[in-house]
Amino acid sequence: MAKLFIWRACNELLPTRLNLTRRKVIEMKTCPCCDGEEEDALHALWLCPAAKDVWGSSLSCFQKFSFTGPNFRGLFSYCMERCTKEELELMAVTARRIWLRRNAWVFEQRFDHPNAVFIEATKSLREFKSCNVHGQEKMLPARRNEALNSKQPIWIPPPDGVIKVNWDASLNVAKNWVGLGIIARDRCMGARSITHQATMDPKMAKTMAALEALQFSKEAGFWDVVFEGDAAQVVKESVKSTLFF
């Protein structure tokens, strides 16, 4: 959930008041917590005094961070350059907790103490890691053995912190129709379904699906990816030049 939340925040897809006014849902752009500035993702999660109280908590390792960029994507890139993997994970979980705290204020008129937000974020991250490690130890060997002994393909989760992207294509020759499907997951991180009115052979359809998988991963900002599909080798050879550089 934290990864998907950060992706949405980086792409300005959270239902902030600024986004809701752009979609003609509400008329008020100002932040519901401070009532001072327009509320976009960066303000809600970092610049708002209510958010600053959390990041500046005596329990936080982000107290001395100074960021003056224009958006949350820039903030997260800034943190990626300066934080360890563990700190970056904590930053993501804390940002999500700040958003949940903001929603509790909007819908329930309830506002948790800054230290409580940070404590809860730390606790949930620790519990997730503990469950994930023990779950993988118990489940992954069994699933791998099941995949080896079964004629049916079984999806095997990627290593911790890695996103696996699967894709495929289908053809309806009679109607000159091609459909492409893409899903990114360690747990489900996103999906895309595309249809085209076109005539092509199966190999070309698979290649188009592979290219769409690359574009989807680039747009989503996935930087640690394992690609799977019939054209996987083609993607692996081109991923550095096409996606990351």
Per-residue pLDDT of 100-141, as tens digits, reads 999 999 999 999 998 899 888 888 888 887 776 554 555 556
Task: Please name every residue paired with 170 in a beta bridge, in sequence order, or none if there are none.
Answer: 179
Nearest to 227 by CA among 204, 241, 211, 205: 211
- The values of phi and psi at residue 164, to 5°, are -100, 130
Per-residue pLDDT of 148-190, as tens digits, reads 555 555 667 777 667 888 878 887 767 777 777 777 776 566 7
* Residue that has been written with the tokens 């020759």 in this structure: 173
Taking the C-alpha atoms of residue 46 and residue 52, their distance in angstroms, rounded to an integer, is 6
Is the torsion defined by CA of 41, 45, 46, 48 positive or negative?
positive
Domains and CATH numbers, the chain: 2-130 (no CATH), 163-244 (3.30.420.10)
* pTM higher than 0.85: no
Per-residue exposure over 48-67, b if at least 16 CB sit within 10 Å of its own CB, e if not: bebbebbbebeebbbeebeb
